[in-house]
Structure formats: structure tokens, C-alpha cells
Amino acid sequence: MPDVPPSTLRLGLDEAALAANWRVLDAMSGTARAGAAVKADCYGLRVVRCLPVLRDAGCRDFFVAHWSEVESVLAYIPASQVSVLHGVFDAAQAAYARAVGVRPVIDSLHQARVWSESGGGRCDLMIDSGINRLGIAPSEIADPLVQSLDIQVLMSHLACADEDSAMNARQLAAFRAVIPHVAHREASLANSAGIALGADYHCDLTRPGLALYGGVPRSEFADTIRQVAYPEAALLQVRDVAEGATVGYNAAFTAPAPMRVGVVSLGYADGIMRSWAGAHFVHGDRRLPMLGKLSMDMIVVDLAQAPDLHEGDWVSLPYLLPDAARQTALSQYELLTVLGNRFG
């Protein structure tokens, strides 16, 4: 087979910004060290591109969600540095964890039993301090199944760290109450937003995710966290549209005068949802407003400010995550993780 032609989509990744974000979060973690959540293919920005940057910046603790994510990260880091947040449901998962050397995060008494009966070994343990997702209930901490675990990291997860909520202090108190009652080597509570809550929340290890990749979950990060992702797409066609002609599905836009427009190789199959309608692309400092409804693979833009553009020229979608979240009503997490796999 011949080589595949270059993609008409590309995802610019500012590696220096990614490394700087980890260093900022590590410094903000005080005496704790910062790890990195690299689940969901590094929040959609690709393990192959992001994980080596985080490793070389100094990160030594990495968290994935699914067992299917393990193999890709082990190409860059030792298995001993990897924790799998969804834990072990059955003997097959336990055998896989032991064979490759990663740590499961034990999330229930059932998982504790599966892990112990399959041979046990080093693991992490999640305590549910109030979010009511995964985790051992504090009332279960004295169970012999829990007490017999060989725990590296005792962890919990904050539900409202991106808000000034009384629940943060309640969860901190609940987690602290458990810490003396189960043997472990390290404790971890804070996610990205939790780091900004202060030293009480840092414990031994923090687990940032969103902020690594340019997300700003709290105002404390507004001046320090840098944009990492820059989606770009090529113009597939440039055309003239007559006054009164309509553009796109449902004839949602009518040209008020003769216009020059461009068809951009990007759409909701790439994670750019119809909630982006009314936003704009840029070429240098020139704005190219979107026209009509977004399509699955294409977006039409107004080239009034850039009449010199032609087929094959590249345009950029402004993707500063706080601004994009306001434009689309999507969360900053969604904006990252929905980016499709067609970006080159």
C-alpha cells in the first residue's frame, strides 16, 4: 500500500507549556510531589506525544482508568509508576496487573477479595470520602480484606474542589479520619483543583489531570496554567457565494451580500460540536467567523478578512479552554476528551 497522504487536520501541542504546567502544579503541591492523570489518551491529547514530555519534566506517578490504556503508557515509563483507577473486577484483570507490574487501585471489598485471592501484591486503595463513585466506604476500613492489603497509595477524590464548597473540608476530614486505621506508604487526595485548596489537601502525592493540559478549574491557575492544545484544519475549498444564497444544513445562514467563503476540514466527528456555531477561526490575527450549522466533517467560514486564502491553507480554532467552555457550554474536560482521532 502507498503511504497515506498527510492529514488535513493537525493538533498543535505546545510541549513546553505542558512541561511548564506540570512544574507549576508540582511546585504548588508544596512538600508533596505531583503525579499525572494520563487516562483517556492524556485527556485526548495523545499519550505518544504527552507522556514523554511529562516524564522528562520530572513526573514519576501516572494514573490511567482502563486496563486497555496500560500498554500504551508502558512504552514510555516503568510499570511500577502506573496505577489503574478502575481496579480489578476479576481474576483475569488481577493476573494481568501482576504480570505487567502495574498497581490496581482497589475500589471495593469485592475487588479486595479478587486481588487477595489471586495472590495479592502491591496495590493502591481508594476511599470514598463523599463523592459516592468508586471507593471503600470508611465504615469498611476495618474489614480484614482491607487490612491485609499491601497498599502503596491510600487515596480519595474530591467532588467539589473547583468550588469554594464546604464539602471540601468535609471530605478532607473524612479522609484524615481513615488514614491512621490502615497501613499504607503514601496518601493522596488532591486533583488539579484540589492543589489550589492549600497544603492541608496535598498529602504526599497530588494527582493533577485537567490543568496539565491547559484547563483552568479555579481562578488561582488563571495566570500560571498555559494553553497546550491548538486544533488546526486546512481549507478544502474556497468559493464565492451570491447575495441571498444559503449556506449549510437547514439553510441556517443567508448571505446578506456577495461573499467569499472557505470550507474547513473539521466538524463534530472531530469533537467540534454544533455548540461552536457563531464562533470563529483565525489566520494570524484575522478572524474567520463560522457560517451556519457545523457539519460532521466540514465548517464554512467567512473569508472577508482573509480574501487571499486558498485551498490547502491552514486556519486555527481558538482553543483556550476557559474561553471555549464559555462559547460552547461544554466543560473543559469535554473540550479536550472529545477531540477525535483524525488529527495528524
Instruction: Return the beta strands (E) in 256-331 as ranges.
Output: 259-264, 280-283, 286-291, 299-302, 314-316
Type of residue at 211: A
CA neighbours within 13 Å on the CB side: how many for 266?
28
Q: What is the DSSP string of 66-132?
A: SGGGHHHHHTTS-GGGEEETT---SHHHHHHHHHHTPEEEE-SHHHHHHHHHTT--EEEEEB-SSS-
Return phi, psi of residue 310, to 5°.
-135, 175
Q: Give φ, ψ of 25 to 5 degrees.
A: -70, -35
Going from the C-alpha of 303 to that of each of 1, 96, 111, 240, 253, the distances in angstroms are 38, 54, 57, 10, 15
Q: Is the Cβ–Cβ distance between 105 and 81 less than 8 Å?
A: no
Judge whether 230 counts as a catalytic residue.
no
Q: Does residue 293 carry a catalytic annotation?
A: no
Helix (H, G, I), strand (E, B) or coil at 11: strand
31 and 217 Cβ atoms separated by less than 8 Å: no
Q: How many helices and strands in the chain, by DSSP H and E?
A: 11, 18
Catalytic residue (one of 76, 96, 249, 319) = 249
Q: The cell 470550507 sits on which residue?
A: 263
For 320, counting Cβ atoms within 10 Å of its Cβ (0-12 exposed, 13-18 middle, 19+ buried), the class is: middle
Please count the other Cβ atoms lying within 10 Å of the Cβ belonging to residue 71: 10
| Residues tagged active-site | 39, 249
